[in-house]
């Protein structure tokens, strides 16, 4: 592993922790979630995966790396539980938006027809 393995894992864990707080379905409306949130999340996971693929060369850092790795696994488990619920909420939000869009289209058609009649 490169000399900054421990630092990289700490940064990844901070990023994942922040993402878990930000994406909690009960704390926010799905309409505030952006595609970038998911691409950032994937970037953090890939960054950690790359970091963990190479054996550590850092003397005395193995305990700290093991701790950060355990925290990383915990974040992945939390994501495993969170993502299906979030997916369901996003699908419900999509349906709500499609219904609203349909209502707007119907109202616009009615307004156009009403102006022709008057």
Could you report the per-residue pLDDT of 26-81, keeping only the tens digit for each? 655 666 788 898 999 999 999 999 988 876 666 667 888 889 999 999 999 999 99
> For the whole model, what pTM was predicted?
0.74
Task: Return the DSSP state at 58.
Answer: -
| 6: three-class secondary structure by DSSP | helix
E strand or H helix that includes residue 84: helix 62-117
The domain total for the chain is: 1
**Structural domain containing residue 82:** 5-117
Classify residue 59 by its DSSP letter: T
DSSP code of residue 24: -
Rounded Cα distance between 97 and 29, Å, is 13
Of residues 87, 75, 66, 83, the one with CA closest to residue 15:
75
């Amino acid at each position: 592993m490169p000399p900054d393995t421990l630092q990289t894992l700490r940064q990844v864990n901070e990023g994942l922790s922040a993402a878990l707080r930000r994406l909690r379905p009960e704390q926010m409306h799905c309409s505030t979630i952006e595609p970038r949130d998911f691409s950032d999340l994937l970037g953090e996971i890939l960054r950690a995966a790359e970091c963990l693929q190479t054996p550590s060369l850092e003397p005395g850092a193995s305990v700290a790396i093991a701790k950060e790795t355990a925290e990383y696994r915990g974040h992945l488990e939390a994501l495993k539980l969170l993502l299906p619920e979030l997916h369901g909420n996003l699908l419900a939000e999509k349906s709500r938006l499609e219904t609203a869009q349909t209502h707007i289209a119907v109202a616009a058609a009615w307004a156009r027809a009403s102006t022709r009649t008057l």
